[in-house]
Chain A
Protein backbone atom coordinates (compact mmCIF):
# COMPACT_ATOMS: atom_id res chain seq x y z
CA UNK A 1 0.00 0.00 0.00
CA UNK A 2 2.13 2.86 -1.25
CA UNK A 3 0.11 5.70 0.25
CA UNK A 4 -0.37 4.24 3.68
CA UNK A 5 1.77 5.57 6.47
CA UNK A 6 1.45 6.77 9.99
CA UNK A 7 1.02 10.43 9.14
CA UNK A 8 -1.69 9.67 6.59
CA UNK A 9 -3.59 7.69 9.19
CA UNK A 10 -3.21 10.46 11.74
CA UNK A 11 -4.62 12.95 9.23
CA UNK A 12 -7.53 10.64 8.45
CA UNK A 13 -8.33 10.32 12.15
CA UNK A 14 -8.28 14.08 12.53
CA UNK A 15 -10.68 14.44 9.61
CA UNK A 16 -13.01 11.82 11.08
CA UNK A 17 -13.00 13.55 14.47
CA UNK A 18 -13.68 16.96 12.95
CA UNK A 19 -16.46 15.60 10.74
CA UNK A 20 -18.00 13.87 13.74
CA UNK A 21 -18.04 17.19 15.60
CA UNK A 22 -19.69 18.85 12.57
CA UNK A 23 -22.29 16.10 12.53
CA UNK A 24 -23.03 16.38 16.25
CA UNK A 25 -23.31 20.16 16.12
CA UNK A 26 -25.60 19.94 13.07
CA UNK A 27 -27.94 17.68 15.02
CA UNK A 28 -27.86 20.05 17.99
CA UNK A 29 -28.55 23.04 15.76
CA UNK A 30 -31.56 21.29 14.20
CA UNK A 31 -33.36 21.90 17.50
CA UNK A 32 -31.39 24.99 18.63
CA UNK A 33 -30.97 27.15 15.51
CA UNK A 34 -30.48 30.32 17.56
CA UNK A 35 -27.70 29.00 19.79
CA UNK A 36 -24.93 31.29 18.64
CA UNK A 37 -21.98 29.56 20.34
CA UNK A 38 -22.98 26.19 18.88
CA UNK A 39 -23.25 27.72 15.42
CA UNK A 40 -19.85 29.37 15.80
CA UNK A 41 -18.31 26.05 16.83
CA UNK A 42 -20.10 24.33 13.94
CA UNK A 43 -18.76 26.83 11.43
CA UNK A 44 -15.29 26.63 12.95
CA UNK A 45 -15.20 22.85 12.51
CA UNK A 46 -16.63 23.07 8.99
CA UNK A 47 -13.78 25.39 8.02
CA UNK A 48 -11.23 23.07 9.64
CA UNK A 49 -12.81 20.12 7.84
CA UNK A 50 -12.51 21.80 4.43
CA UNK A 51 -8.93 22.78 5.21
CA UNK A 52 -7.89 19.31 6.39
CA UNK A 53 -9.55 17.57 3.46
CA UNK A 54 -7.94 19.83 0.93
CA UNK A 55 -4.52 19.30 2.56
CA UNK A 56 -5.12 15.57 2.70
CA UNK A 57 -6.18 15.39 -0.92
CA UNK A 58 -3.19 17.32 -2.19
CA UNK A 59 -0.86 15.05 -0.19
CA UNK A 60 -2.49 11.64 -0.52
CA UNK A 61 -5.06 11.80 -3.32
CA UNK A 62 -8.84 12.02 -3.54
CA UNK A 63 -10.95 11.16 -0.50
CA UNK A 64 -14.28 11.14 -2.29
CA UNK A 65 -15.76 10.53 -5.72
CA UNK A 66 -16.57 14.20 -6.14
CA UNK A 67 -12.92 15.25 -5.96
CA UNK A 68 -11.31 16.74 -9.04
CA UNK A 69 -8.48 14.46 -10.12
CA UNK A 70 -5.26 15.16 -11.98
CA UNK A 71 -4.38 12.87 -14.89
CA UNK A 72 -4.26 9.92 -14.64
CA UNK A 73 -7.30 9.30 -12.44
CA UNK A 74 -6.02 9.15 -8.86
CA UNK A 75 -8.95 7.77 -6.90
CA UNK A 76 -7.98 4.17 -7.62
CA UNK A 77 -4.58 4.66 -5.97
CA UNK A 78 -5.93 5.31 -2.49
CA UNK A 79 -6.29 2.36 -0.12
CA UNK A 80 -9.78 0.93 0.32
CA UNK A 81 -11.32 1.75 3.69
CA UNK A 82 -10.88 -1.85 4.87
CA UNK A 83 -7.21 -1.80 3.94
CA UNK A 84 -6.44 0.99 6.40
CA UNK A 85 -5.20 -0.14 9.79
CA UNK A 86 -6.13 2.49 12.31
Chain B
Protein backbone atom coordinates (compact mmCIF):
# COMPACT_ATOMS: atom_id res chain seq x y z
CA UNK B 1 0.00 0.00 0.00
CA UNK B 2 1.47 3.34 -1.06
CA UNK B 3 1.16 6.11 1.41
CA UNK B 4 2.23 9.70 0.99
CA UNK B 5 3.93 11.71 3.69
CA UNK B 6 0.72 12.58 5.43
CA UNK B 7 -0.36 8.97 5.70
CA UNK B 8 -3.16 8.96 3.10
CA UNK B 9 -3.57 5.91 0.90
CA UNK B 10 -2.95 7.49 -2.48
CA UNK B 11 -4.18 4.51 -4.53
CA UNK B 12 -7.58 4.40 -2.93
CA UNK B 13 -10.65 6.61 -3.17
CA UNK B 14 -11.80 7.97 0.11
CA UNK B 15 -15.29 7.01 1.23
CA UNK B 16 -18.29 8.58 -0.38
CA UNK B 17 -21.24 9.46 1.81
CA UNK B 18 -24.88 9.77 1.02
CA UNK B 19 -27.50 11.60 3.04
CA UNK B 20 -31.13 10.87 2.24
CA UNK B 21 -33.43 13.88 2.36
CA UNK B 22 -35.40 14.02 5.59
CA UNK B 23 -39.17 14.08 5.20
CA UNK B 24 -41.48 16.05 7.48
CA UNK B 25 -43.61 13.71 9.53
CA UNK B 26 -44.47 13.19 13.16
CA UNK B 27 -42.62 15.27 15.73
CA UNK B 28 -42.05 14.75 19.43
CA UNK B 29 -44.06 16.68 21.97
CA UNK B 30 -41.83 19.70 22.58
CA UNK B 31 -40.79 19.05 26.18
CA UNK B 32 -39.92 15.49 25.25
CA UNK B 33 -37.98 16.89 22.27
CA UNK B 34 -35.93 19.09 24.58
CA UNK B 35 -35.14 16.05 26.76
CA UNK B 36 -34.20 13.89 23.78
CA UNK B 37 -32.19 16.58 22.03
CA UNK B 38 -34.19 16.40 18.82
CA UNK B 39 -37.69 17.25 17.63
CA UNK B 40 -37.59 14.43 15.11
CA UNK B 41 -38.24 10.79 16.12
CA UNK B 42 -36.27 9.57 13.08
CA UNK B 43 -33.16 11.36 14.40
CA UNK B 44 -33.47 10.05 17.96
CA UNK B 45 -30.71 7.47 18.28
CA UNK B 46 -29.27 7.33 21.78
CA UNK B 47 -25.91 5.61 22.25
CA UNK B 48 -25.77 2.99 23.55
CA UNK B 49 -29.20 2.04 22.18
CA UNK B 50 -31.84 2.32 24.83
CA UNK B 51 -35.50 1.65 24.76
CA UNK B 52 -36.54 4.98 26.24
CA UNK B 53 -39.05 6.07 23.60
CA UNK B 54 -42.44 6.17 25.27
Contacts and interface: CB of A to CB of B under 8 A. Distances in A.
Q: Do A and B come from one complex?
A: yes
Interface of A: 13-14, 16-18, 20-21, 24-25, 28, 31-32, 35, 37-38, 41, 45
Nearest to A20: B34
By secondary structure, the A interface counts as helix
Given A25-B39, A32-B22, A41 B33 contact: no
Nearest to B35: A17
Interface string B8-39: 00000000000001101001001101100011
A35 B24 CA distance: 8
A24 B24 contact: no
A45 B34 CA distance: 14
A38 B38 contact: no
B33 A21 contact: yes
A84 to B, nearest CB: 15
Contact of A17 (B24, B27, B33, B40): B33
Contacts of B39: 20-21, 24-25, 28
A45 B31 CA distance: 13
